[in-house]
A and B are shown apart, each in its own frame.
Chain A
Amino acid sequence: MAVDKQERNKHYISRKESREIAKNNSKMIRNFEKQKKRKIRPEEYVTEMKDPNNIVEFDDLHTFFFSDAGTVKAVNGVTFSVPAGSTVGVVGESGCGKSVTSLSLMQLVQAPSGQIVSGSIRFRADMFKLDEHGRKIPVYETETDEDGNDKLDENGNKIYKLDARGKKIIKKNELGGNMYEMEREVVDIAKMPTQAMRMIRGREISMIFQEPMTSLNPVFTIGNQLDEVGKLHIEGISKEKVKERSIEMLNLVGIADPEGVYKKYPHELSGGMRQRVMIAIALLCNPKLIIADEPTTALDVTIQAQILDLLREIKGKINGSIMLITHDLGVVAEMADYVVVMYAGKVIEMGTAEDIFDRPLHPYTIGLQKSKPTVDQVTDELYCIPGFVPNPINMPNYCYFRDRCDKCMEKCSGEYPGYVQVTPTHKVACYLYKDMAKEETNG
């Protein structure tokens, strides 16, 4: 009887508790918002990469939502990295914090309730070099000799080309915009002010969302929404050039009649077409990283395959990286070089695609694999992991998967398991492999 009552009270928040939660929330939110509004100097967020081959490093990232029911630890200490030029798949059930991880990377977590609480997201960005007045430094056209080297005058200075009015001509970059001096900087997005983040969004990192049906603004034409990005990020580009670039992008993503689609409104296109448009928007400024947040979930199977092919093709063309978020293991197997498996806001296993698919270790990963329909096996019923993802409020400090795990041991009631490095590329957070690792180190 008493147990029953306790059980029932678990999901019930008393008025006192609710008041406490609200008080705590408003305090926390106020602090974080104040932190954001304060003027942040570049020195505070410029850092160094742990591994220079990486383009993004998540380091112990915590993103919480301060909700009325309590603090939701959507991302609770996530650490992984995206090596340059690779595709990283992030897998997990719904509500595991996959999307919030990617939104944190874009600083798009729904404020004020959602906040990056601690940790860092290091990103290797090409930032504009600024002069002492805080202005961008343009690169000018110079006179060159036959070999393409700069001609120098008697003082050893470069000779600049001049236009009709005697002004120096700014060099054009490959997108047709003005060229400025750039510098490679590693920034911590978790600490970066939104102002500076806007230079990265759309230009260095772009995002493809889950819902192509609602991700385009219904009242503007496709052309308008594409041009917007070009006008914003490619400085000094002419209107015609922007349009040219937009149509080129529509062509690139395999839209048959780019000029026609350019003039259309989103509601006149199908879901697959809209997702292509979203990809075109994402590609417009040659980003270094594309975040694809379940890009194929809302599409039917044939279109899914086409979109995945497109993403793969494009990755080769722009020479960037892709962070692919999905719950579809098939998609990950097909696309990813590295796989990160998330469960309840934590990374529970990560490794190369072969590691995860050929030698899955964590019982959750094994369960996920088993629950995938396969052609070569005859089964009456599809396997399903029993239970649900736990309520992310007031999470206990033991392995979150314990209650659903078929290999649960006595040890599992202990504190949250640390990572076990099984092979140089393969890490797992489970007690099953703790001993194995110990044996290895002992032996």
Chain B
Amino acid sequence: MVKYIVKRLLLSIFILLGVSMIIYFIIRLMPMDYIDQTLGGLMSGGSAMNQEKIDAIKALYGLDDNSFGGILKGYFGWLGRFLKGDMGTSYMYNEKVEDVIIDNMGISFGISFVSLIFELIIAIPLGIKCAVNQYGKLDYTATVVCMTLMAFPTFFLGNLFIMLFADKLQWFDPSLGLVSTSLPVGTSGWVRFWDMMWHLVLPMVVLVLLNVGSYMRYQRTNTLEVLNADYIRTARAKGLSENKVIYKHVFRNTMIPLVTVLASALPMLFGGAMITETVFNIPGIGKKTYDALMKGDIPLAMGYNMFIAILTVLGILLSDIMYAVVDPRVKLGK
């Protein structure tokens, strides 16, 4: 087991190298870099800024040479610093990249984690119920509702909810964000906490609604498959009650594919919900990096993407390990 994990971790170094190279090249190949975006506007105004100065600043940032060799050089420069533990300073926020990520991760993790818990609480029992009463009223209703919700784009459902519950009904703060503007600056403790919670309800509801469908369908399909297995017939032939058959024999078997899906949800958990955070104007890691990406902030974009890549690799490894934990037939090899 230990040997297996070590081997997988060593292998993932190569994966991460490849990933980082691809991301770096893509960002560098974007038509507008950070300098163009922030200073380009100044040039047309007939100010002191001219092309030479811009080129000089670009050279300072290491963005001047956009040939293949230049990008490669830039990449290895970034890689060298990264390996030394220096992720650089965000152009946009003027802070160390790791600080930006760590400072903004908490809120994103909170939203995603709570949403995930709710998604599972709703999806798993509902999926089982639907499978047990296949083609029943509940099954059809749940399927239609879930499919409809899954089909909504995040920004659409998000804005719909804002319009309905915040603007029209005024149940929530229509100015969005994390804290009310009406809240006095110095407020802290429970008042502030509840105010924050109140602002997070809508985004969480949107996240849950959008994701619950896929988990529910997944659980339903798995349960159906297991329900038709021979060993379930054996369990019934033993005289076990239907509840025991379903919640012991069936559920334990549906957990095998479920944990692997859950383990691969790890990067999503820490990486933030980019679109939801942007729509609801929540300063989480998702929104921060979205803004950074739009501006061509290479250090933050690289740092964030590497963070997600590492989490993904770990998530996949975790799901493999979980597989061996829940399924006695699976043994992790060398």
Contacts and interface: CB of A to CB of B under 8 A. Distances in A.
Nearest to B249: A217
B254 to A, nearest CB: 10
A265 B234 CA distance: 16
Contact of B253 (A108, A219, A229): A219
A232 B329 contact: no
B234 A219 contact: no
A354 interface: no
A209 B256 contact: no
Query: Helix, strand, loop or mixed for chain B's interface?
Result: helix
Contacts of A228: 238, 240
B229 interface: yes
A36 to B, nearest CB: 12
B241 interface: yes
A233 interface: yes
Contacts of B195: none
Given A108-B233, A211-B230, A214-B230, A219 B240 contact: no
A118 to B, nearest CB: 23
A412 to B, nearest CB: 38
B231 A206 contact: no
A330 interface: no
Interface in A200-219: 200-203, 206-207, 209, 211, 214-219
Contacts of B237: 106, 108, 201-202, 206-207, 209
Contacts of A233: 239
Contacts of B235: 217
A369 B256 CA distance: 47
A24 to B, nearest CB: 16
Interface in B208-249: 229-231, 233-242, 249
Contacts of A206: 237-238
A416 interface: no
B86 interface: no
B327 interface: yes
A265 B230 contact: no
A26 to B, nearest CB: 9
Given A209-B230, A214-B230, A203 B239 contact: yes
A229 B329 contact: no
Interface in A236-268: 265, 267
Interface in B262-317: none
B238 to A, nearest CB: 4
A267 B328 contact: yes
A264 to B, nearest CB: 9
Interface of A: 106, 108, 194, 198-203, 206-207, 209, 211, 214-220, 228-229, 232-233, 265, 267, 278, 281
Given A198-B239, A220-B252, A281-B234, 8 more contacts: A194-B242, A207-B237, A209-B233, A217-B235, A218-B329, A219-B253, A232-B240, A281-B238
Among all A-B residue pairs, the 5 with the closest Cβ atoms? A202-B239, A201-B239, A214-B230, A217-B231, A202-B238
